[in-house]
Chains A and B, each alone.
Chain A
Amino acid sequence: MRRKEKPTRWKSGALLAGLGLGAAATWWGVQQWRRLKQTPPVSPRSHHAGLAGYFQQVGEWRMFTRVTPNDAPGLPLVLVHGLVMSGRAMEELALALGNNYRVLVPDLPGFGASALPSSAPTLSVDEQADALWEWLQHNQLSRAIWIGNSFGCQILAALAVRHPDAVAGLVLQGPTVDRHARSLVRQAWRDWRNGRLERHRSPASLARIDYAKAGLWRALQTMRAMLHDRIEQRLAYVNAPTLLLRGSRDAVSPARWVEELGALLARGEIMTLRGGTHTLHYVYPWSFCHAIRPFLARIQQENQHE
């Protein structure tokens, strides 16, 4: 009898210990998740460099915007973040561009500091573009030069088609989704390969904050919206001067795909930044700024009467 009892007791003990450990890990994970959600919208370093932020009620959405201290004349630049990220990843690019221009970095509704309750619906690409247009009006601006990264490019393409007057120029860096790899698995694989190249200056810690703020459900729904949206069907209707920028090592937005997009644009040009990766705006913001400066100067020149 004793022989039989011992293993049972051992098993129960192990089970209890496992359950206890699991509960502790879950509790720890929840605490971390909550802590990430409470991260301030502007990093201390950017705040120290003069980057300010404000909240606005824009239609149905409460939106957060970062703004650079330099109130330079000319068209403002608006930076639009990528999938499930927020403008937090674009702060250094904003500061680099802010030396010459007025730069605004909104968080799209549902993301970053513009987070929405999980019960709120997930906005489609067109709805995000409309929200951006409303946000522009709300800030007493009629036109801007828009700079987007990755999924942000899809929203900007929609904006340029739906509200062409609001777009004086576009910089689309690493546009998604390559029509030759339109599946979550292939996109995730490419993203992983890109992450390997960016491991010394990885945006992963920021991504954790932004995923916590957006919530997993919204993240998944937005991924779905991203995969269903076809940027290649919009770009032919974009008349604004557009710079397609890609890093030469960008695995998510390969050269062939960007060339295809370039061919669709009425006033498009392509630039490749040697050595650059997909999260170019975060990993190489100063090089990004340096590369697009001539394009920005030209658009500003063309619109100097405004």
Chain B
Amino acid sequence: MSKPPKGIARFDSAAAMLMALAHALHDKPFDSPSQSPMLDRLLPSLNRLPTRLKEWGYAIGGMAEGISEAQAGDLDVEGIAEWMVSEYPERDYPAAFIGSSNGALTHLAAAMGAPWLPQTFLCPVRSLNNDPDDAQAGFEQGKAVAAALLAAWPRLAVHHMQDPNQDRLMLDQMSYFRLKLRALPLAFNEFLMRSLPDKSTLFVNHCTRQWPVTRTSDRSFFQFGALGGATEKEYLQGGGRVAEFLARYGSDRSRWNAPAPTDNVPEAEWGLDEYIKAPLKRMAADRNWQLLEIRYQDPEALSFVVAEIYRDWYLAAGIHATRLTVDSFLLMDPWCTMRQHAIPFWLVFGTEPSAATLSRFLDRQPRYRDIDMMLFSHGTESIGIAPVERWRQLLDRATHAGDFVGVDTERFPHDFATFARFDTALRERAPLFAPPPPLSVEKVIGGIERYGARHGVTLHKLN
């Protein structure tokens, strides 16, 4: 297990979910998303600083993760793919996943003891003293970087993403480029061929969520805004909440001025670029694998299905699961969840739409005895963020104890030390037991077919 190489952000969905799953497959807790003991020791001190200083520290920390514009042209995509596959134990697997990032999928793969390879990863590029609200400037500045990234590895789609609502702090000092692999790096090819024997199953995780973008070349796009608390319309046309948000952050704008959208393409962070399906089909045919696609639009839809599959999995092992663990973005530990015999329920972010998803889930479930909840802090009082009280109400639906895990509710959403403390806190919440025997491919297929339809999750044969 090693730190991610330059060019891929650690504090992002793809890298963190991959590391969380890899830790589970190595039979280890995911105790440090940063993979840096020094940073983990520093974070609690950073948390005690005044808000402005704390925000500055967060932005600087993010900036340190980034590469320079000059380095973008030399991005080692093969090296990043090598790091991804090297995180997993070297052995034969009955199945593997590839495609969209998804927290619920991370839990599903962990229960099966199967690896997942992300199609998309975040490449942060340093870009100093930006105005996060200036969409036009961001759009123009990003074109050269996107071209450099495409030149570095031509089989990419580059999604330059600017979300002044949720990534506000980070955008001060850097730009977000989400890179989607349209072909398999050699490291992925090798890993799959080495690890999946004849007649294994390869699942393509396909989130069909799209977003309006401005096309800058045949393989590069500018996406303004992102899935979360604000709507597409608010990002592109403004509204009362936007005006209030901008005024609160001292901007003299009343709305953002994003370039006019030209296309609808897969959402930068969660959506799957379907180009990758062609090489996967060829490889599956050649290697005699079953190729299945899990398709859904809303990333949180899979959380409902995985929760049901987990419940059945525990029941088959004679375990009556009464504990719910609510993940938030990258705050998750599948290793711990399985060992606490808890049902996982992953949420995209700490926003009102995610709170509504959890509420819908709890409405349809028998009441849980215990609910543990992580809350990701992104350092901004963003549009649509659900306040602590809203989450508290949901926690109160536990019959015995519903608590935040590793969250400093006074400081949320500026509680950056939660990265360093969430896992220790989670492990202290309940005793750890041996997990049930690994979930079989057949049970997963059966579970998706049984529970998927009512949540918009479908399974398709690709060969």
Contacts and interface: CB of A to CB of B under 8 A. Distances in A.
Nearest to B76: A197
B286 A290 contact: yes
Contacts of A276: 186
B86 A287 contact: no
Interface stretch (B37-45, B187-195, B340-348, B450-458): B187-195
Nearest to A286: B193
A146 interface: no
A282 to B, nearest CB: 11
Which of B86, B185, B194: most chain A Cβ within 10 A? Answer: B194
B83 interface: yes
B22 to A, nearest CB: 13
Nearest to A275: B186
A273 interface: yes
A95 to B, nearest CB: 10
A274 interface: yes
Contacts of A9: none
Interface in B68-83: 76, 78-79, 82-83
B86 A284 contact: no
Contacts of A11: none
B78 A284 contact: no
A201 B86 contact: yes
B193 A200 contact: no
User: Which of A201, A247, A273, A275 has its CB near the most chain B CB atoms (within 10 A)?
Assistant: A275
A287 B189 contact: yes
A287 B185 contact: no
Contacts of B86: 200-201
Given A197-B79, A201-B82, A201-B86, A286 B194 contact: yes
A62 interface: no
B187 A275 contact: yes
B193 A290 contact: yes
Contacts of A162: none
Most buried by B among A200, A247, A290: A200
Contact of A287 (B79, B85, B190): B190
Nearest to B84: A200
A200 B83 contact: yes
A247 B78 CA distance: 12
Contact of B78 (A197, A285, A286, A290): A197
A275 B83 CA distance: 14
Contacts of B83: 200
Contacts of B82: 200-201
Contacts of A287: 186, 189-190, 193
A275 B286 contact: no
B175 to A, nearest CB: 26
B434 to A, nearest CB: 26
Contacts of A284: 186-187, 189-190
A194 to B, nearest CB: 13
A92 B86 CA distance: 17
A230 interface: no
Contacts of B85: 200
A276 B185 CA distance: 10
Nearest to B85: A200
Contacts of A275: 78, 185-187
B78 A249 contact: yes
Interface in B231-274: none
Interface string A198-212: 001100000000000
Nearest to B192: A286
A112 B286 CA distance: 35
A274 B183 CA distance: 11
A275 B82 CA distance: 10
Interface string B180-223: 00000111011001100000000000000000000000000000
A283 B79 CA distance: 12
Contacts of A290: 189, 193, 286
Interface string A249-271: 10000000000000000000000
A285 B90 CA distance: 14
A92 B195 CA distance: 12
Nearest to B191: A286
A281 to B, nearest CB: 12
A294 B79 CA distance: 28
Contacts of A286: 189-190, 193-194
A252 to B, nearest CB: 16
B446 to A, nearest CB: 31
B210 to A, nearest CB: 29
A249 B152 CA distance: 12
Interface string B281-296: 0000010000000000
A46 B226 CA distance: 48
User: Counting chain A CB atoms within 10 Å of each CB, which of B2, B185, B189 scores highest?
Assistant: B189
A247 B35 CA distance: 32
Interface in A52-97: 92, 96
A50 B187 CA distance: 25
Contacts of B187: 200, 275, 284
Nearest to A288: B190
B81 to A, nearest CB: 8
Interface string B333-367: 00000000000000000000000000000000000
Nearest to B185: A275
A276 to B, nearest CB: 6
B14 to A, nearest CB: 17
Nearest to A290: B193
B292 to A, nearest CB: 22
B289 to A, nearest CB: 13
A273 B186 CA distance: 8
Given A92-B194, A200-B2, A274-B186, 7 more contacts: A200-B79, A200-B83, A201-B82, A273-B186, A275-B78, A275-B185, A275-B187
29 contacts: A92-B194, A96-B193, A197-B76, A197-B78, A197-B79, A200-B79, A200-B86, A201-B82, A201-B86, A247-B186, A249-B78, A273-B186, A275-B185, A275-B187, A276-B186, A283-B190, A284-B186, A284-B187, A284-B189, A284-B190, A286-B189, A286-B193, A286-B194, A287-B186, A287-B189, A287-B190, A287-B193, A290-B189, A290-B193
Q: What 6 A-B pairs come out closest when comparing CB atoms?
A: A275-B186, A286-B193, A200-B86, A200-B82, A275-B78, A284-B190
Interface of A: 92, 96, 197, 200-201, 247, 249, 273-276, 283-287, 290
Interface of B: 2, 76, 78-79, 82-83, 85-86, 185-187, 189-190, 193-194, 286
